[in-house]
Amino acid sequence: MATFSADQINDFKELFNEHDSNGDGRVNIDELHKLIASLGVDTTKDVVDSAIQKFDADEVGALNFEEFVSLMAALREMD
């Protein structure tokens, strides 16, 4: 998580918690799709699905907060 400031991490945490609608500490494909849309990024479920597969290190089909931050880092790299 080295590339983000503490403030950014806090913002991510808020965003993550806000979209973890069932409160299980992970964002699944539907939750992540809405989260990314709320950032103003237009994407498809297929793209979200591949992102989950790529960053879901423990392979449960949803991202925990740490995995989510890795995804945000990768998205930033693409800018």
User: Which of the stretches 5-13, 14-22, 41-49, 69-77 binds Ca ion when contact is defined by CB under 5 A?
Assistant: 14-22
Question: What does the block give as tokens for 71?
Answer: 């995804």
Is residue 17 within the footprint of Ca ion (CB under 5 A)? no
**In Å, how far from its chain's centre is CA 63?**
7
**What is the nearest approach in angstroms of Ca ion to the Cβ of residue 49?**
15
- DSSP letter at 40 equals T
- Residue 56's φ and ψ, nearest 5 degrees, are -80, 80
User: Which of the stretches 9-17, 21-29, 42-50, 67-75 binds Ca ion when contact is defined by CB under 5 A?
Assistant: 21-29
What is the widest separation between alpha-carbon atoms in the chain? Answer: 31
Is residue 20 within the footprint of Ca ion (CB under 5 A)? yes
**What is the nearest approach in angstroms of Ca ion to the Cβ of residue 7?**
24
CA distance 7 to 59: 28
Question: Rule CB under 5 A: which residues touch Ca ion?
Answer: 20, 22, 24, 26
